[in-house]
Amino acid sequence: MTAFVIILYMKLALVQLNPIIGNLAYNYSLIETEFKRYANDGVDVIIFSECILTGYPPLDLLLRPDFILSIEDYLQQLIRLTSKFPNTALCIGTPRLLKEKLVNTAYIINNGAIIFEQFKHNLPNYDIFDEKRYFKSGTQQGVFEYKRAPDWNNNL
């Protein structure tokens, strides 16, 4: 009698950094360094904190069109970076302009492409965390697949 034992796991890295609010170049360099380090260690998904690229909370910087355009430029650089490490996904949160409204977005990026995005639903509205002033709330929740395990019926 032959028995099959399948052990499936995913190696995750939760990365907490100390970004500087508004300093996109510095924050990008922090993300890039840690992404490369963990990707080279064989991590499957590297998860960074909310608004890591802009620093949190970015406040009135979000009202500057040039700042929003710069966020998109750095996001594109991160997308290109992931193409060099196709076995590692990047989870990063950053503001995104969508239909002339800002949304606080979490991206899953892998192999040079955004494979999933989720907009923040519960926006805080107290003290300095006045996200409702800057962001539109997300309305849908989603699920994504990454490195799917083989189907029992088809692959064994």
* Token pair in block for residue 60: 């009135």
Q: How far apart are alpha carbons 89 and 12 in whole angstroms? A: 10
List Cα–Cα distances, 15 to 77, 143, 151, in angstroms. Answer: 19, 22, 31
Q: Tell me: pLDDT of 107 over 90.
A: yes
- Domains, the chain, in order of start with CATH, read 20-139 (3.60.110.10)
pLDDT of residue 19: 97
Buried b (16+ CB within 10 A) or exposed e, 89-101: bbbbbbbbeeeee
Query: How wide is the angle at C-alpha 119 spanned by C-alphas 63 and 133, nearest 5°?
Result: 35
Q: What is the pLDDT of residues 52-98, one digit of tens each?
A: 999 999 999 999 999 999 999 999 999 999 999 999 999 999 999 98
CA distance 80 to 76: 6
